[in-house]
Amino acid sequence: MLPDAEVLASALAGAARALLAAPFLLSAALKLRNWAAGLAEVQALGLPLPVLVLAATVVLQLGGGAMLVINWHARWAAAALAGFTLLATLMAHPVWRHNEPGAAQQRVTFSEHLAIVGGLLLVVAHG
């Protein structure tokens, strides 16, 4: 017996939100476990006030990720995470500058991050 279409759609949407949240929650946890490495990552980008940027990143990743998982203001959380991910991707993976042997991996990472942005935009559009 197949589940009702609405029940199935709701379960799939919940699973999708959890999967979209996972990399943000993991990234925040890793930054909290190794603050120095997270700080070095921010400093390598040349951003001002790196401690503040790192703290804001962790708060956004943890808060937005949790909001997606529990479906609390998920559209707002997804919008914030999409904007953050797009900005971070453009800053950390500038594929237009890479021609060295590792450039292919940079392009793959760039496109994976854009796929995450796409999934988050679906949450913004459909909840």
The ranges assigned to domains in the chain are 5-126
Going residue by residue through the chain, which has 127 residues, state the pLDDT in tens, using 9 for 90 and above.
567 988 999 999 999 999 999 999 999 999 999 999 999 999 999 999 999 999 999 999 999 999 999 999 999 999 999 999 999 999 988 887 777 777 888 888 999 999 999 999 999 999 8
Instruction: Compute the chain's Rg from CA coordinates.
Output: 16
Q: What percent of the chain has pLDDT over 70?
A: 98
66, 19, 24, 101: CA torsion to nearest 10: 180
Task: Round to whole Å and give the CA distance between 42 and 4.
Answer: 47
Task: Round to whole Å and give the CA distance between 39 and 110.
Answer: 21
For tokens 């991996």, name the residue.
105
What's the pLDDT tens digit per position in 23-54? Answer: 999 999 999 999 999 999 999 999 999 999 99
Task: Round to whole Å and give the CA distance between 105 and 108.
Answer: 5
Single pTM value for the model: 0.91
